[in-house]
Chain A
């Protein structure tokens, strides 16, 4: 019997990596094209609409860009936040839960902000969301530091707890429940008063929301933080080896607590910006950024500029898939999901293939 081994490639050539990625994406698009062809749709036409996020031939093209940015901002901030904790090898997969806590606390302020100045309300929403999400993050980090609990399990469970909390709020008609529309017999989340709805800079008909500017600024700040500050350096040392960090005289526990607070608080901020931009909350408000953010962070190898670009590409994929599917009665959203999955999967495979190779056992010995 022949044995095969996986061996990490000794060198990493850029040309090869690019080639693998290109082939991966091409293969996934080709598989998608076969399905489109079977459904009687011209694949080039479809892909064209998809990668232009439905802008071409759209009467309200600027709204497509606004919609795209609303998907992009939370994904970018969450991915950045997750990269921070992953860099420290702290497996925070509780992005969904941390996002929901932030969204709920921000909404508590929003629903009760009638008459308050817009700027103050939005600022308060952001602060409340950051603090509440940050506290959950720090609590989980504390359990890890003090009792060495498994953070993967803890953060994962937070997702489900918060999902059921928000469903409870959304489905319980009661006097205390100011989240719901009062005039509706059926439970239905209400709409924020204008005081809590994010404004922006109008550019013609297009409105550039402040959240976009905040997200871009945050990207720069995180980049500088990781690259040029002592704290940023500490994170990578703890990530590489906590023993090294300890012998270098760093307080590992403190670094873990601090970084998890920052990471969760950023996700809380993303949530506050999201609910404020849409003017409401729902149990699907996260748009799965807690999960997608993990993919973005890893595809980007935790590099901040790469996170920025990857977030754009994933958002184009998400928004574009839906926009294109709208224009074809034969295509439903399941196809859009399928295509997204195919592309992500093949990129991950390509990434793997670019870093590893399969060799026979004898060759491995000789190698």
Chain B
């Protein structure tokens, strides 16, 4: 008897779904597939690691960049954008997401997380007519698969300048840095180094204390790390490479200063925030979508693997707040000019040093070897910048002035 009931129950479930099925078949039979008869047939697919409705953080920054980029080139995100979100770094799930997007007719598919790399590599072969674009990766092919990332270290150097001036003003050489990872990832490592070099270009005695939380995002840990850096190590500025604004909020509570990341965190920490290195993802997304729309066959020659920085406006610092010292803006503008003109770059054998009062800030260039904090020489005095491949992939040392506290 029990068995009979359960059979009938499941049958009931089946019947309801069949009804729904029938209903939609008739509905769809009439007007065909959605979006197909619109003026623009170009469709964009996106795969996110977190929710598309996030209001801050990594996924938000990309989603914002994609929608803004679409508007720039005349696409409507409400109609032409297909998203699969909360996709973990699981090849099978990424592949299924790609199949869904391909099935819906997407012409270009963006994947924002490093771990999507295997699935993107495999699916780029399977769908030669779709362009695959993978953030933070290192693989590509010569037809329809590229990777993109930016010289965020340049923006971090600029934020370092702001922090350096603050430490001079407060006569406290201890600067804190809450980081997702330390030397394990070139992305975090190069960011820490660039920030420290920016600090020391202003305050040669500055020390950057890194607290590694060993995860890309955990609000509780981010908070604790900032508290430790302030309470135990006496840091007067808290910089960060992690997902939430918690380190800035802590700085605000404890009356010290800070540099956020990813977005302008002044709203979260009005009394503390100086400036934040930010990404303008829309710069890349507009470029990539335009190229894919106009001439997909030559995507790899026109866009290729994308690694831009201040010059393209792909990275920048958020507007300086009133918490910054008077000299900060001039110094940052000077450094920015040197980097956008291509005259100088961060990881080279030439060191910048800023001096002078507000209104007459000057920058001096001196040849000095780039050394690790253990004294090993990376670039000889006057030498050229380290390769992009090192900054993106293999940098695994801290420069002089950086200490990891945990």
Contact = CB atoms under 8 A, between A and B. Distances in A.
Interface of A: 12, 14, 17-18, 21-22, 25-26, 44-45, 47-52, 54, 56-61, 63-64, 66-67, 70, 181, 184-186, 188-191, 278-280, 282-285, 299-301, 303, 305-306, 309-310, 313, 316, 322-323, 325-327, 329-330, 332-334, 347, 351
B170 interface: no
B4 interface: yes
Interface string B164-194: 0000000000000000000001100000000
A285 B89 CA distance: 10
Contact of B21 (A52, A61, A323): A52
Contacts of A316: 17
Contacts of B32: 57
A325 B9 CA distance: 28
A208 B123 CA distance: 19
A156 B42 CA distance: 48
Contacts of B97: 322, 326
A310 B77 contact: no
B228 interface: no
Contact of A17 (B9, B17, B82, B83): B9
A102 to B, nearest CB: 16
Interface string B66-88: 00000000000110011111101
B8 A18 contact: yes
A25 B394 CA distance: 54
Contact of B51 (A21, A189, A300, A334): A334
Contact of A14 (B8, B14, B27, B28): B8
Nearest to A170: B89
Given A48-B20, A51-B21, A301-B2, A327 B91 contact: no
A52 B304 CA distance: 38
A326 B118 contact: no
A125 to B, nearest CB: 16
**Which 3 residue pairs spanning A and B have beta carbons closest together?**
A48-B24, A57-B33, A278-B92
Interface secondary structure of B, over-half rule: helix
Contacts of A58: 33, 103-104
Nearest to B187: A186
A193 B326 CA distance: 60
A249 to B, nearest CB: 27
B118 A63 contact: no
B10 A184 contact: no
A327 B103 contact: no
Contact of B117 (A60, A184, A305): A184
A131 to B, nearest CB: 24
B24 A56 contact: yes
A273 to B, nearest CB: 12
A329 B75 CA distance: 14
Nearest to A323: B100
B10 A332 contact: no
A127 B227 CA distance: 52
B267 interface: no
A185 B86 contact: no
Interface string B345-385: 00000000000000000000000000000000000000000
B100 A334 contact: no
B53 A188 contact: no
B138 interface: yes
Nearest to B2: A301
Interface of B: 1-14, 16-17, 20-21, 23-25, 27-28, 32-34, 36, 51-53, 77-78, 81-86, 88-93, 95-97, 99-105, 114-115, 117-118, 122, 138, 185-186, 393-394
Nearest to A227: B3
B89 to A, nearest CB: 7
B9 A351 contact: yes
A202 B360 CA distance: 75
Given A18-B9, A60-B99, A63-B103, A278 B88 contact: no
Contact of A326 (B3, B7, B104, B115): B104
B404 to A, nearest CB: 19
B99 A282 contact: no
B20 A327 contact: no
B1 A303 contact: no
A25 B5 CA distance: 17
A26 B82 CA distance: 28
Contact of A67 (B24, B89, B96, B117): B96
A282 B104 contact: no
A59 B52 contact: no
Nearest to A61: B103
Q: Which of A26, A48, A305 has the most CB of B within 10 A?
A: A48
A279 to B, nearest CB: 7
B8 A313 contact: no
21 contacts: A17-B9, A48-B23, A48-B27, A48-B28, A51-B17, A51-B20, A57-B104, A185-B186, A186-B114, A186-B185, A188-B114, A188-B117, A280-B91, A282-B93, A284-B90, A285-B90, A309-B10, A309-B11, A322-B96, A329-B81, A332-B83
A280 B91 CA distance: 7
Given A21-B12, A59-B102, A332-B53, A303 B85 contact: no
Contact of A49 (B24, B51, B393): B24
B34 A25 contact: no
Given A48-B23, A330-B78, 12 more contacts: A12-B1, A18-B9, A45-B27, A51-B24, A58-B103, A59-B103, A185-B185, A284-B90, A301-B6, A309-B10, A326-B101, A334-B51
